[in-house]
Amino acid sequence: MLPEETWRALRLKAEREVEFTLADGTPIKRGVSECRVEIRGAAATSPVVLGEEHDGALLGAVTLETLGLMLNPLTREILPMRMAPSQYAAPLRPNAALQTDRFSSSS
């Protein structure tokens, strides 16, 4: 999340509005835009939440993962992420989304 002063200085504009749920369960709506982010020499575009007056800065998991980084929750350090080889991913079956007849009920 970018503080309002920051995203206004960058001249970002909301492309859409999204509802988020805070840790205490409170729902909030905020604008979302795209922004180029650079951390430790790694740069990429990432969605960014456009904060309001009292919202603090927050670096989210999507931005970190896009940059190939992760947060160590114990030390709070930003570290390089070890990328998983795609050979271990489950293979996609062609036309898998079209095979819905097995879920339909017969009358």
Two structure tokens written together for 103? 């879920």
> Is the residue at 61 inside a domain?
yes
Give the total number of structural domains in the chain.
Answer: 1
| Residues of the domain holding 13 | 4-79
Q: Is residue 94, in this structure, part of any structural domain at all? A: no
Predicted TM-score (pTM) of this structure? 0.69
Q: What is the pLDDT of residue 41?
A: 87
**90 within domain boundaries:** no
Q: Is the pLDDT of residue 103 over 50?
A: no
3-state secondary structure the chain: CECHHHHHHCCCCCCEEEEEECCCCCEEEEEEEEEEEEECCEEEEEEEEECCCCCCCCCCHHHHHHCCEEECCCCCCEEECCCCCHHHCCCCCCCHHHCCHHHCCCC
Report, as an integer, the average pLDDT of 45-74: 92
pLDDT tens for each residue of 60-90: 889 999 999 999 999 999 999 876 665 555 5
* 17 part of a folded domain: yes
Q: Is residue 86 part of a domain?
A: no
